[in-house]
Structure 1
């Protein structure tokens, strides 16, 4: 196992998230992955919420933002969809991001990227709420289908259409 760093903690946390879901991401489980006591993790993160924030930051760091065109009605949906698709790609990532963004412990890249192309801060907040809510609902439907329940998963075009309708 590699050395314990904040980056490695977030990498392991995201792997646990993808493999087992948010409910099973715990400080104890992360420590077990490193073969150390939980107390060793607190040199790198203040608490579990800080770990979750680092996980969201790492998830969003992988997004290569489309360059802004200068037209917010084009740029905002494009950027929002980039974050939306990233959240859908990892199990429970939307729920994780909702918690982190609500408590302000991470996710700054999303807020900054959307604010950069939004005409007003209230627009940024509204788009983030739609993005997180829509992604959370869609992820829950996808997971329900995976265990055999009959539900209809929303498509990313539905998110885009809804966003454009509100603009």
Structure 2
């Protein structure tokens, strides 16, 4: 059976989930798929392209069935969905943030957020700036959560825990962001 792009992405996600981004190399991926590294380049141009494709896979379905209603409900739901998608894979926030920075993914997250915020009444420039701010909040918070979770894997049993769950901390920060936007719209 011939190697497919889907095989490459599935293999890359498996390595990412088990070992993390630092250990996701083209050589390791090729070995796990039982092919020579050169065979991967038929499906992805380089590691940056691979990360972009992985980011797209992580974000796949993010925009499906978004709730209707008030802008604040929609933007909050979108932010929570983005966080959940990033948390579903080890180092997911770092992968998607890198793909975004390198412009290698096809993610539509900023466009979706911008549309919701423009519907709220922000002009196009402010809506895009607010969407980018929210995107970076989600990336940063989620990357921090993932780092703490990985560090906790190496702590002895009974080590002190966090003050609040990651979800509670994320929700609080998100509510501060939404409240700030609401104040700008008045």
TM-score, normalising length: structure 2: 0.81
CA gap 1:64/1:110 in 2 versus in 1, 3 angstroms: closer
Structure 2 gaps, min length 5? 119-126, 179-186
RMSD over equivalenced CA pairs, Å: 1.9
* Alignment of 1:126 onto 2:137: no
Report the 3-state secondary structure (helix = DSSP H, G, I; strand = E; otherwise coil) of the residue aligned with 1:108: coil
Q: Which residue does the alignment assign to 1:52?
A: 51
Note if contact 1:138-1:154 (Cα within 8 Å) is conserved in structure 2. Answer: no
Q: List gaps (5 residues or longer) in structure 1.
A: none
Q: Is the 8 A contact 2:114 2:131 kept in 1?
A: yes
Q: Aligned residues, how many?
A: 166
User: Which of the pair has more CA radius of gyration?
Assistant: 2
Bigger relative contact order, structure 1 or 2 (CA pairs below 8 A, ≥6 apart)? 1
TM-score under structure 1 length normalisation: 0.90
Q: 1:157 aligns with which of 168, 179, 182?
A: 168
Deviation for aligned residue 1:157: 2.5
CA shift, 1:69, in A, is 1.6
1:1-167 alignment runs, 5 A limit: 3-63=2-62, 65-106=64-105, 108-119=107-118, 120-148=127-155, 150=159, 152=162, 154-167=165-178
